[in-house]
Structure 1
Amino acid sequence: MKIERIEAVPFAVPYRKPLRFASGEVHTADHVLVRVHGEDGVVGVAEAPPRPYTYGETQASIVAVIEQVFAPDVVGLSVFDREQIHARLDRTIANPAAKAALDMAVWDVVGRTLGVPVSSLLGGYTDRMRVSHMVGFAPDSTMVAEAQRMRDEYGITTFKVKVGRRPISLDVGACRALREALGPDVELYVDGNRGWTPSEAARALDAMSDLDLTLSEELVPADQVLGRRWLTGRTSIPTVADESATRPGEVTRELLDGAANMISIKTARTGFTGSQRVLHLCEGLGVEVVMGNQIDGQLGTACSVAFGAAHAHTSRRAGELSNFLDMSDDLLTEPLRITDGELRLPPGPGIGVEVDPTKLEHYRQDR
């Protein structure tokens, strides 16, 4: 089964409200649909979400590198030659979202060709994951109302709180308001998107010591090496490496340096192939993981749950699988549904979803 053609289609879907966090703000999902065409007509799909303030990629750069660099390198290869495909992709540095989407679209072709779900090909551990929802920068009352709505409508009981503003006057107060409103049975953890200094982070964690936070993610920039090590060593809350650990070498560095003791895996950043390498490394080192979110749409979320449900290690914790609810629309023919706090795998071979051609035509940006 050879790859005959690769498409990179830019599309834009507005968010219902701006999503704000320490490293940036987004109003529209300016993503890229990647389609890999096999020689017998099978088409695999995946979604690349640009994050210029995190990885330097833009919608235009993703389209350009796929069309001008990656497609010429991999067209003609078999979809089963994944090591050869990655060897050619890795001749180009960076571009993680573009590489990840191409990788997942190739896996989708394989699954569709064999008539098997990708999640089964990856491991087949379970058919669902518990869902964590991200609550972003807003007044305390707004954040509380959103979390209560997610609990009441979707059964979600795990919440990731975006922090990284002024620690004591804003972020600590928001976390305290959420804990008081939601009660002790709801899980809360924080993500700073590199917004604090080590001393600010230490002071904030001390001030929230009574809130039973379960994780603290990327509170401090990755280049503050000694500060990150000092912070991780002084707190009992597990420190999650996210943006600082985008490939196996970085994961090893963060863990052995003592800068983190837990890893966020994002299929939008490492695809299925790279995510398995990160996962197996973490399993070998005895490190916990959490399935993160790149503010994915429904297609990207379907990829995340396919990977997370495939493995015991990734399915232990609630995965960040609900950001698509903030989008005003999406591209899929059958929308994903969160019920009783869980997201089930879409049925069908491959990733298990189909792109609606009418919606794609409406939202695509290259016409």
Structure 2
Amino acid sequence: MKITQVDAIPFAIPYRKPLKFASGEARTADHVLVRVHTDEGLVGVAEAPPRPYTYGETQRSIVAVLESIFAPAVVGLSPLRREVVHERLDRTIGNPAAKAALDMALWDIIGQAAGRSVTELLGGWTDRMRVAHMVGFAPPEQMVAEAQRVREEHGITTFKVKVGRRPHTLDVRACRALREGLGEEVELYVDGNRGWTASESARALREMDDLGLTLAEELCPADDVLGRRWLVERSPIPFVADESATRPGEVTRELLSGAANAISIKTARTGFSTSQRVLHQCEGLGVEVVLGNQIDGQIGTVCSAAFGAAHRHTARRAGELSNFLDMSDDLLAEPVRITGGTVAVRQVPGLGIELDPDKLARYRQDT
């Protein structure tokens, strides 16, 4: 079996409301659908969500690099030759979402060819993932109302709270309101998207010490090297490296330097192959992992759930799998459903991604 063609199709689906956080704001899901075709008729599917304010990729740059560089490099190869594929992709610096989508589409093909789900091929630990929901910037009462609605409608009891605004006392008030509005049984953790300084972060954590927060993610920039180490030494809870740890070398740097003591894994950023390497690094070093979200659509959520459910350590915590709820629509023929606070892995060969052709025709941007 050989790869014969790689499609990079830009599409745009509006959000029901803007998603606001310290490093940016998203009003539309301007993503890229990636399809890899083979000479045996199998087609692998994934999506690449560009995040220019974090990784520098745009929708146009993802399409361009896939069409002009990555597709010519992999056409003619067997999907099984993943090491050769990655060696060729890695000749080009950056472009993590484009590389990740191509990798996941290849795994989709391999699963279809083998008659096994990707979750089974990666490890087969469980058949579902608990879900964590991200609560973005809004007045505290609106943040509480959203979290209460999500808990009531979907059974979700873990919430990631976006912080990083100035004055940071607004974030502290929001976290306190969420704890009071949701009760003690709900898990809360915070993500600053590099919005605070180390001293602001330390103060905020002290002021929230009684709220039972479980994690703090990227409160200040990775380039604040000494300040970040100083903060992590004093943090009462694990400090998660996310956008500062986008590849294995950065994971090693952040953990061994003392700049973090937990890692967020995002399949939209490192695919399945590199995500598994990052996971094994973390297991070997004895640090926790969180299955993160790059504001994925439902296609990306299917991919994240497939990876998270495959491994013990990713399935241990709730994964960030609900951001698609803020999108007004999606491309899947069978939508992702969150039931009892969990997303089930699709029990079919590959990833089980079936596109709705009418929706693709409606939202694609290249026709």
Q: Tell me whether the two structures share a fold, i.e. TM-score over 0.5.
A: yes
One-letter amino acid matched to 2:39? E
- Where structure 2 has 5 or more consecutive residues not aligned to the other structure, the ranges are none
Of 186-195 and 158-167, more deviation after overlay is shown by 158-167
SS class of match (2:174): helix
Quote the residue 1:352 is aligned against. 352
What is the Cα deviation at residue 167 of structure 1?
4.7
Deviations 1:222-243 (A, max 9, x none): 1001011000000121000000
Deviations 1:279-308 (A, max 9, x none): 001011111100000000000000000000
SS class of match (1:338): coil
Instruction: Give the TM-score normalised by structure 1.
Output: 0.99
Quote the residue 2:239 is aligned against. 239
SS class of match (2:210): coil
One-letter amino acid matched to 1:227? G
Is 1:212 equivalent to 2:218 in the alignment? no
Deviations 1:227-260 (A, max 9, x none): 1100000012100000000011000000000000
Quote the residue 1:296 is aligned against. 296
Instruction: Give the TM-score normalised by structure 2.
Output: 0.99
Distance in 1 (CA, whole Å) between partners of 2:169 and 2:198 is 17
What is the Cα deviation at residue 59 of structure 1?
0.1
What is the Cα deviation at residue 168 of structure 1?
3.8
Quote the residue 2:81 is aligned against. 81
Quote the residue 1:270 is aligned against. 270
What is the Cα deviation at residue 112 of structure 1?
1.1
Deviations 1:91-149 (A, max 9, x none): 00000000000000011111111111001000000000100000000011110000000
CA RMSD of aligned residues (A): 0.6
- Indicate if the aligned counterparts of 1:44 and 1:105 stay in contact, CA closer than 8 A: yes
- Indicate if the aligned counterparts of 2:169 and 2:204 stay in contact, CA closer than 8 A: no
What is the Cα deviation at residue 169 of structure 1?
2.8
Quote the residue 1:306 is aligned against. 306
One-letter amino acid matched to 1:363? Y
Quote the residue 1:259 is aligned against. 259
Deviations 1:149-200 (A, max 9, x none): 0111100000000000025431000000000010100000000000000001
Pairwise mapping of residues 311-330 of structure 1 onto structure 2 (< 5 A)? 311-330=311-330
One-letter amino acid matched to 2:341? G
Distance in 2 (CA, whole Å) between partners of 1:125 and 1:200 is 40
- Indicate if the aligned counterparts of 2:159 and 2:187 stay in contact, CA closer than 8 A: yes
Quote the residue 2:30 is aligned against. 30
Quote the residue 1:190 is aligned against. 190
Quote the residue 1:332 is aligned against. 332
Quote the residue 1:71 is aligned against. 71
SS class of match (2:272): helix
- Where structure 1 has 5 or more consecutive residues not aligned to the other structure, the ranges are none
Aligned length: 367
Is 1:139 equivalent to 2:126 in the alignment? no
Pairwise mapping of residues 49-60 of structure 1 onto structure 2 (< 5 A)? 49-60=49-60
- Indicate if the aligned counterparts of 1:266 and 1:294 stay in contact, CA closer than 8 A: yes
Is 1:174 equivalent to 2:183 in the alignment? no
SS class of match (2:15): strand
Distance in 1 (CA, whole Å) between partners of 2:168 and 2:92 is 43
Quote the residue 1:283 is aligned against. 283
Deviations 1:65-113 (A, max 9, x none): 0000000011000000000000000000000000000000011111111
One-letter amino acid matched to 2:103? D
Identity percentage of aligned residues: 75
One-letter amino acid matched to 1:187? E
One-letter amino acid matched to 1:207? E
Distance in 2 (CA, whole Å) between partners of 1:114 and 1:19 is 39
Quote the residue 2:103 is aligned against. 103
